[in-house]
Structure 1
Amino acid sequence: MYETETKKKKIKMLLKIVFPIFITQVAMYLVTFFDIYMTARYGTDDLAGVSIGSSFWVPVYIGLAGILMSITPIVAQLMGGKKRDEVKETLQQGIYLAVMLAIIVFLFFLFGTDFLLGLMDLEPAVAQVAAGYIFAMSLGLIPLFVYNAMRSYIDALGSTRVSMFISLMAAPINIFFNYLFIFGNFGFPELGGIGAGYASAITYWLIMFIAMWIIHTKKPFASFAVFNGWARLSLSKMKEISLIGIPIGISIFAETSIFSVVTLMMSTYGTITIAAHQIAINFTSLLYMLPLSISMGATILVGFEVGAKRFRDAKQYSWLSVGTAIGFSFFSACILFFMREQIAALYSSDPAVIQLAVQFLVFAALFQLSDAVQAPVQGALRGYKDVNVTFVMALVSYWVIGLPVGYLLANFTEFGAFGFWIGLIAGLTAGAITLSIRLVLIQKKIAAK
């Protein structure tokens, strides 16, 4: 990364950073995407089971992995402030934290899955697939968390293309092992939806080892020698990572978990509704990778400029990111609205599932603009290391506004299951508005000084 003088150069730098991040996010998301897609081709019960399992797995994993995202603004500001000597210890402590978080999550799922699934009125076949999928995925927690820490470090150095090339390997590896374990090809056991979990775990281990090899041997990472001379566990450094990371993790958890909670609440409507809802969520999440990537790019660039005390440039990067995401959101909305029947048919051949999924996709198209605003605004705020108020706003928007509105509409009006989607739109819109106000206030505060 380097200083940019004009808006034209800033846009070029933003796209240079964001495009590889987008490919990386899509590649990593495709692991879950193909779990859902290939399981849908195996059977409706297995699709519902994997949907329920991922509804527990995804928010917990993303929320805690979000803590490790704090490595990005920390390292970006260190590089902007020309403090290279502190980068190595930051990553090492981040890896320590990653392993500890992975163990905590593994124990949570090991002892809590049966209890959580027991709270739901699931068909026995669906519950069995959900439990097996969660356990299998948990075997890949350590490499997944460690890779997230290393990726945050790689991206903070501006080497987002490296993360892109590593992550591009994930999807074909996962598809190959899904083909073996879901359908029982080449003599492997036919495990259905549970096999998708084992395939993903194997994929995460391979990706972690590839990332470690690149960081240890290739430029510019080798010069930091992060795997040589490991520092002892530093409570002060862990505290720095956690103080920034925990609010990031909670805000991400607040956003992602509301989608999972809605999926769990829809279990009362039956297997068909769960499957149709999951199709809409799965494809919408794929499109969300673009504003999310712009958000991560904003964190890197804003953090770099803030570290260098170039606050005017940081402000310009913030709003360029928002404008870029809004532009792409109209394209995403058009895909969801005009191609909704084709999208639904990609996942399932069940007419009832397709018909309901088509209706859910209309609502998904409606919240594209809100997603396009709130994601990059959050990314910019993380670049400023402003995370505490942000996560409070996220909690209020999604859980105090979004979920209650959805619950009331679903249970006390004729909207039924569609009421939950209206609630999601309300929560995302509230988040977009409040977070934008916060960003303006932070920038005004800095300008006043």
Structure 2
Amino acid sequence: MKLVSRRFALESKRLVQLTWPLLVAQITQMLMGVVDTVMAGQYNALDMAAVALGFSITIPLMCFLQGIALALPPIIARYQGSKASGQVAFAAQQAGYLLLILGVVILSLYPAVPAILRWFPMEAGLYAITLDYVRYVLLSMPAFALYQWLRNYCEGLGNTKPTMIITVIGLGFNILANYLFIYGAGPIPAFGGAGCGIATAIVISVMFVSTLVYTAKSKRLHHFGLFAHIAPPSLKMMIRTFRLGFPVAMTLLFEVTLFAVVALLLAPFGATTVAAHQVALNFSALMFMFPLSMGMAVSIRVGYRVGQNNLKQAATAVNSALCIGLIVAVGTASFTLLAKEFIIDLYTQDPAVSSLAAALLIYAAMFQFSDAIQVISANTLRGYKDTTAMFVITFFAYWLIGLPTGIILGRTDWLTAQPMEAAGFWIGFIVGLSSAAVLLGARVYYLVHRQRPTAHLQQGLSGTL
């Protein structure tokens, strides 16, 4: 019993050490989008709308690259756990080749941007600003791909603090670059909302270069020799990495597009409903950073422990992550309920929006428990390299259970006296996320217990990452 408690305490401590820098980095990354919107809005409403629209077009592309890069941490954590450090550099280099190719492929969309934007009917002024914003951001896609590569290389080796520091510096640089290119200064003309695109491209490039310099100079990473010997591209290894990362990328896209589709489906109910939905959704996204960061940490720990063939300790890491995640969910849900008026006042002073947002925040508090379980479980599967199951389950739960439930409750009177509007869609979120939590949790349970009987388990506490 004492050994079990020591194992649990060990994994809990290491998870927290890995998680808090990831949490700061994720929140800081979110704040960059908030800063872009606020600063463009202070210029004028048209530019703010263009930035919001341009962001909604480019974020799926960035999520795709990020999803592919997320295949790297469990791969190299497993090599590190198995003491095969010599394989780390090779695997990382192949992931770098893959991500650079994908970044260039996305950049090649540059000439097609006008045609893509014509899919979205808009006035001429809005079209022109959005076009410029998207084009500027696309120019940084190779740099973004390589930044994600190096970031996930560091994180996969348990080195999460550099990401936090570089992202925080990036936020400060983003504010300065936004000011210079939105409003203009000295020889720099005022670009308005398009200036956010320029600032974003510059900040991404600066973050890539900063991470590159750190990775090349770090004494902690020197042992792995990422740049000591550059291996030629291996199509076989790149395909393996892509096959592992593609389901992760698609899972991210499922979630991003789900919330975008719901916003469109709520549009017929008017601006008040959409605004209240956005308030609740934006705050929920902030709270989601807590379990997401824990999930990213547990994927590293599971990969490392599986590499050691210490599957009992991998299971302990999963249990620790779920316990911590649920404890944090109690805290965030309680805060959401007790401070909802304060939260809403940060977003709006409109009485109608505030009233509806207060009701939606109750649903937001309810689904934080399911959200914690599903995202930690999904990242656990990533650590076990079981990403196909994650892909299938999330698609089924989000799009075949959650969204239809939301449409039936929100847009029809099939089950209720009248359409529940936004509340119906939020119940759909709860149903979808709860379904994902149950199915992903069951898959994790199956994996953990399937592997235990056949593995040669290491009982000791040595070899901590």
Per the normalisation by structure 2, the TM-score is 0.87
1:433 matched residue in structure 2: 438
* Corresponding residue pairs, total: 445
CA deviation string 1:210-265 (max 9, x = no partner): 00001111112233332343221111110221121112212222222211222344
**Matches of 1:343 and 1:189 in 2, distance apart?**
37
Residue correspondence of structure 1 range 209-228 to structure 2 within 5 A: 209-228=209-228
Residue correspondence of structure 1 range 243-392 to structure 2 within 5 A: 243-269=243-269, 274-348=274-348, 357-392=357-392
TM-fit CA distance, 1:448: 3.1
SS in 1 for 2:223: helix
Change (3 A) 1:349 1:192: farther
1:84 matched residue in structure 2: 85
Residue range with higher mean Cα deviation, 267-276 or 57-66: 267-276
CA deviation string 1:129-170 (max 9, x = no partner): 544433332222222211111111101111112222222211
Change (3 A) 1:291 1:185: farther
TM-fit CA distance, 1:203: 0.8
Residue range with higher mean Cα deviation, 174-183 or 392-401: 174-183
2:99 matched residue in structure 1: 98
Change (3 A) 1:122 1:256: same
TM-fit CA distance, 1:75: 0.2
Residue correspondence of structure 1 range 77-156 to structure 2 within 5 A: 77-108=78-109, 110-111=111-112, 114-115=115-116, 117-120=117-120, 122=122, 126-156=126-156
**Matches of 1:134 and 1:285 in 2, distance apart?**
23
CA deviation string 1:149-194 (max 9, x = no partner): 1111101111112222222211111122222333445664444433
Paired letter, 1:148: Q
SS in 2 for 1:182: helix
1:397 matched residue in structure 2: 397
Q: Which has the larger radius of gyration?
A: 2
1:66 matched residue in structure 2: 67
Contact 2:32–2:171 (8 Å) recurs in 1:
yes
1:51 matched residue in structure 2: 52
Change (3 A) 1:249 1:434: same
Residue range with higher mean Cα deviation, 395-404 or 275-284: 275-284
Change (3 A) 1:420 1:114: farther
CA deviation string 1:39-93 (max 9, x = no partner): 4444554444433333332233213321111110000000001111111111211
Point out where structure 2 has 5 or more consecutive residues left out of the alignment.
Answer: 414-418, 455-465
Paired letter, 1:61: M
SS in 1 for 2:108: helix
**Matches of 1:276 and 1:133 in 2, distance apart?**
27
SS in 2 for 1:229: coil
**Matches of 1:344 and 1:38 in 2, distance apart?**
20
**Matches of 1:374 and 1:325 in 2, distance apart?**
10
**Matches of 2:7 and 2:294 in 1, distance apart?**
19
Contact 2:7–2:316 (8 Å) recurs in 1:
no
2:14 matched residue in structure 1: 13
1:205 matched residue in structure 2: 205
**Matches of 2:349 and 2:186 in 1, distance apart?**
26
SS in 2 for 1:169: helix
**Matches of 1:255 and 1:47 in 2, distance apart?**
24
1:443 matched residue in structure 2: 448
TM-fit CA distance, 1:418: 3.7
2:235 matched residue in structure 1: 235
SS in 2 for 1:292: helix
Paired letter, 1:193: G
TM-fit CA distance, 1:424: 2.1
**Matches of 1:443 and 1:93 in 2, distance apart?**
29
Q: 1:419 aligns with which of 416, 424, 427?
A: 424
TM-fit CA distance, 1:96: 1.3
Paired letter, 1:370: S
Contact 2:23–2:293 (8 Å) recurs in 1:
yes
Paired letter, 2:286: L
Contact 1:41–1:348 (8 Å) recurs in 2:
no
Change (3 A) 1:227 1:313: same
**Matches of 1:338 and 1:123 in 2, distance apart?**
42
Q: Percent identity?
A: 31
SS in 1 for 2:162: helix
Contact 1:121–1:268 (8 Å) recurs in 2:
no
SS in 2 for 1:220: helix
Residue range with higher mean Cα deviation, 235-244 or 192-201: 192-201
TM-fit CA distance, 1:446: 0.7
CA deviation string 1:305-363 (max 9, x = no partner): 11101111000101111111111112222333333343344345666655555554443
Q: RMSD of the alignment, in Å?
A: 2.6
2:30 matched residue in structure 1: 29
Change (3 A) 1:113 1:14: farther
**Matches of 2:181 and 2:355 in 1, distance apart?**
30
Change (3 A) 1:274 1:28: same
TM-fit CA distance, 1:197: 2.4
Change (3 A) 1:45 1:343: farther
Contact 1:37–1:347 (8 Å) recurs in 2:
no
Change (3 A) 1:365 1:139: farther
Change (3 A) 1:363 1:55: farther
Contact 1:33–1:282 (8 Å) recurs in 2:
no
TM-fit CA distance, 1:392: 0.3
**Matches of 1:177 and 1:384 in 2, distance apart?**
40
Contact 2:113–2:134 (8 Å) recurs in 1:
no
**Matches of 1:340 and 1:103 in 2, distance apart?**
44
Paired letter, 1:214: Y
SS in 1 for 2:30: helix
